[in-house]
Structure 1
């Protein structure tokens, strides 16, 4: 080859020198950590920041949704607990009211042992012709004056037959009511099994039924209370009138007013002419006794009806409590199912994210030779 002495191109030399100076200045700016302003992927960093903010916002929204659901479930649980407590208080108050109104001391069988009015209700001086208290000097019984022995025995036999018949009828009625109650319970249990698929609708109907039953029960209880007070007042007046009438027409005062009329006034009698009460007076006493028996029977029927109504109300309240408990259990199962589904979804998303990092992001691991290529030039 031939070596040519060509003149130096000053422009080219100047251009090369300018590029060399710019490269040195660029390296001083890039390799100096205090003044370096380039060399960072700003877009990637901003994208990472935005992704981080988006993730934080989604996490915050998810936490808020969980908090709202938790507060709602707590309120529902608190409402159910308050309803159960209120129902227990109402049942306890109803039992106390029943005891105060229908289990009074004077209605007990042994009340006659500690009755404060026992002396007022004591037997008179003579209750029958065979009374051992009536001795020769009692002037309460005379030989040959027992005229009602046969009629008295007939009345006693009739009363015994009537009481036995009433006991048999009452026993049959109780057995029939028990059979009817068992049949009704079986039918209601089958009905509850069929209606188990409609819990939401059944809850509303049960609540309305409980409210209506409570209102009816309160109204019936108020009417029963007022009626019982009226009957007690009427019974007291009848007892007072009967007591006055018995004193006026009893065995102690007179036997036959037409024969024992005294010359000193109609309010006095002649002892040796007194022959006992008249048939009209005896008939009036028997009528009063019959009325008292009918009144006692009516009171028994009213008490039986009230007990049946109370049993029905208690059965409705028990069924309502069972329905609420079943609904609460169903609601808990549904919540657990939703939470399990959400946890499974989170697990699948986490596994997919880990697989993406392992198979897509972290597939090309850098080596030492790769790291030596950096910081050698500004380009």
Structure 2
């Protein structure tokens, strides 16, 4: 294909130029410390504040207009309500006046049904026994009426008087009977008291007789007890004398060795009669104790010899342990020397490696021109 030089597009050139201008303006805003406040557009914020104040003032004026209109409507509503109340009051007043003038209760047709003065104006159903209105159908004169009220009341009073007199007589009779019963009760009580006194006297005499008999019996028992006590004391005294004599003449106090011999064998004795060992027995015991002492001394010597042998064994073992410890210390010392030599060799190799890195590898150090590339654009 042939190389053809094409003319640039004017729109593209204009767009590129526009972007360059915008970038320059942006850089002038961002890199200018006086106009920039951490990336915030102050002019835009001021404009927003003004718009907010304007909106608030407009809203306040609208609210004030609404309030004024509302107050006006409230006043109109109050006036209308007052007018309506006045009309209703005047209407009620006219109605009441019409009722007072043209609708009185006595002018009504059924006023006689609820006339409060009807009972005062009306006559009673029966004025007397000769009232011409009291016919058979009036039910005002009936059979069984009390026409003889005075005679009946007088008869009732006489009957009541008679009943009262009878009640008085009955009460007097009852009181007389009660008095007679009280007299009988008093006599009976006196008789019972006399009988009780007689019985108590007899009981006291009987008690005295029983006390006397008991006293005599107790005295007889006392005499019998004292006699028995004397006899027991005499018997005890005789027994004591016999026991003393037996002890004085017995084998226990005389210390007869034959008295302690047992019938089961010559090597056994009776414990309650045995008075001690013979000199031969004591000598045999001493010889046995001496033999035991010598045996104990021999055992102690043998134990001492065994302890000395154990001490010798412990000494030899300690010496062997010290020898092994010295050998181990020498081996550790030799091993430490070898380890030090190896560490020195490693240190030399590491040092040589660091020198190689600094001289051969890390040779491209950054210059001042490298740091000037930062903060050159707004992006």
TM-score by length of 2: 0.22
Higher relative contact order (CA 8 A, sep 6+): 1
TM-score normalised to structure 1 length: 0.22
